[in-house]
């Protein structure tokens, strides 16, 4: 080790899903939306000007903040935006998790939380999900430095009822509680309304999944004006111009077409329900998902082998080599056609495996 390496901030980075690029691939591994962004976004994209590259963006990202506040019926002082919800969450960890007591999050959850905690030197403690992969709210009633969890949870897809979320907030009035709602638009109930009632609640959402804009990187959150002010203070002490001008414009346009949004999200939910039936028919087991993915295991088909076999056919799903979930696959809901290809493969694979065992 070189002498200078002693002073390096060493981190074990988050591992994102692969981004392969085969024309024939069925990509169900990173929870992207299979449908294009709404036509208003495509139109706006054609209208972008060189000026949007030459000029700095508004540091307060005002046009997008205003559009979000309008859309959700909030005040603009209750809205903060960032480069994907990852940026919003990282900024929130940096800003609000600054005590000596450990922050709490589930043992099976978004695998960026422990990475940020390590990066920012925040002590943390994982709380085990139940055997059915549900969050046990009572585990979060002890002294802590903050609470964060996704709802629906990832990669399980399981939703925690709003009443239980409110119980967790009520038991944690002395710390900030972050609810990461990356998948809330696929049938879950948002905690957004509780922001009026609890000044320690931050609700984080994203355009990456339900609004088909993962490539553009737009995330946002809601909180009381004081929380949002603290977030902006941290942001302006780090990088004033996190979001670029095209993102601000295209993001606002993404909110214009409610009918398109409802239709595409509805299609994904319908495909999800059909996929649940077909996976169950093949003997897969899974907790009930309220997201755009299904986290499934099979008593006879080892997940890692299946993951590799799928990949050979350019069907990509996500596999986590981690305690408790190393026999599961997280399968993103694509189009009906994509799910037909997946299910067709699984039928053949299962037959072939049964033949081998016989």
Ligand X SMILES: *Cc1c(COP(=O)(O)O)cnc(C)c1O
Per CB under 6 A, the list member of 102, 106, 146, 150 interacting with ligand X is: 150
User: Cβ closer to ligand X: 178 or 253?
Assistant: 178
**Cβ-based nearer residue to ligand X, 84 or 145:** 84
What is the spatial distance between Cα 338 and Cα 31, in angstroms, rounded to a whole number?
13
Question: What does the DSSP 8-state code read for residue 109?
Answer: S
Nearer to ligand X, 185 or 346 (CB): 185
Torsion of CA 113, 169, 210, 126, to 10 degrees: 30
181 touching ligand X, by CB under 6 A: no
Check residue 159 for interaction with ligand X (CB under 6 A). no
User: Which residues inside 96-135 make contact with ligand X, applying CB under 6 A?
Assistant: 110
- Considering only 34, 37, 84, 145, the residue that binds ligand X (CB under 6 A) is 84
Task: Kindly state the smallest distance separating residue 89's Cβ from ligand X, in Å.
Answer: 6
What single-letter DSSP state applies at residue 288? P
Q: Are 257 and 38 in contact (CB under 8 A)?
A: yes
Among residues 94, 122, 154, 296, which is the contact residue for ligand X, using CB under 6 A? 154
Q: Given candidates 29, 33, 78, 85, which one binds ligand X under the rule CB under 6 A?
A: 85
Contact status: 86 vs ligand X (CB under 6 A) = yes
What is the spatial distance between Cα 305 and Cα 307, in angstroms, rounded to a whole number? 5
State the minimum distance, in angstroms, from the CB of residue 218 to ligand X. Answer: 7
Query: Contact region for ligand X (CB under 6 A) — 84-92, 171-179, 306-314, 332-340?
Result: 84-92
Buried/exposed code over 13-28 (b: 16+ C-beta within 10 A; e: otherwise):
eeeebeeeeeeeebbb
- Measured CA to CA, the distance from residue 202 to residue 179 in angstroms comes to 6
Smallest distance, ligand X to C-beta of residue 83, A:
8
92 in Cβ contact with 105 (< 8 Å): no
| Contact predicate 222/203, CB 8 Å | yes
Q: Do residues 105 and 89 touch, judged by C-beta distance below 8 A? A: no
Stretch that binds ligand X, among 1-9, 81-89, 94-102, 274-282 (CB under 6 A): 81-89
Q: How far apart are CA 69 and CA 73, in angstroms?
A: 6
DSSP string for residues in 66-78: HHHHHHHT--GGG
Provide the mask over 182-221, with x wherever binding to ligand X is found by CB under 6 A and - wherever it is not: x-----------------------x-x-----x----x--
Given the rule CB under 6 A, which residues bind ligand X? Answer: 31, 84-86, 110, 150, 154, 180, 182, 206, 208, 214, 219
């Amino acid at each position: 080790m070189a002498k200078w390496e002693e002073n390096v901030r060493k981190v074990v980075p988050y591992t994102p899903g692969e981004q392969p690029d085969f024309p024939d691939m069925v990509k169900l591994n990173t929870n992207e939306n299979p449908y294009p962004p709404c036509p208003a976004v495509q139109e706006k994209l054609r209208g972008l000007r060189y000026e949007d590259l030459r000029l700095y963006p508004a540091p307060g990202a005002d046009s997008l903040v205003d559009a979000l506040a309008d859309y959700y019926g909030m005040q603009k002082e209750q809205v903060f935006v960032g480069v994907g919800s990852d940026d919003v969450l990282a900024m929130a960890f940096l800003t609000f998790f600054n005590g000596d007591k450990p922050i709490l999050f589930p043992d099976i959850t978004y695998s960026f939380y422990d990475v940020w905690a390590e990066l920012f030197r925040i002590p943390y403690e994982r709380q085990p999900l139940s055997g059915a992969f549900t969050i046990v709210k009572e585990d979060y009633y002890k002294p802590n430095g903050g609470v964060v969890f996704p709802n629906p949870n990832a990669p399980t897809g399981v939703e925690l009822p709003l009443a239980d979320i409110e119980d967790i907030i009520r038991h944690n009035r002395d710390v900030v509680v972050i609810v990461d709602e990356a998948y809330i638009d696929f049938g879950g109930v948002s905690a957004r309304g509780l922001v009026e009632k609890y000044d320690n609640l931050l609700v984080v959402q994203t355009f990456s999944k339900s609004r088909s804009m993962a490539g553009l990187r737009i995330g946002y959150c809601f909180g009381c004006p004081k929380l949002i002010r603290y977030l902006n203070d941290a942001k302006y002490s780090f990088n004033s111009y996190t979001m670029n001008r095209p993102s601000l414009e295209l993001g606002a346009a993404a909110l214009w077409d409610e009918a398109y949004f409802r239709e595409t999200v509805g299609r994904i939910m319908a495909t999800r329900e059909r996929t649940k039936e077909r996976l169950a028919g093949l003997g897969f087991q899974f907790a009930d998902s309220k997201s755009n993915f299904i986290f499934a295991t099979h008593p006879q088909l080892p997940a890692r082998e299946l993951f590799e076999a799928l990949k050979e056919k350019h069907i990509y799903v996500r596999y986590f080599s981690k305690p408790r979930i190393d026999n599961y696959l997280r399968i993103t809901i694509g189009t009906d056609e994509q799910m037909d290809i997946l299910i067709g493969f699984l039928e053949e694979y299962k037959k072939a495996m049964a033949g081998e065992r016989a």
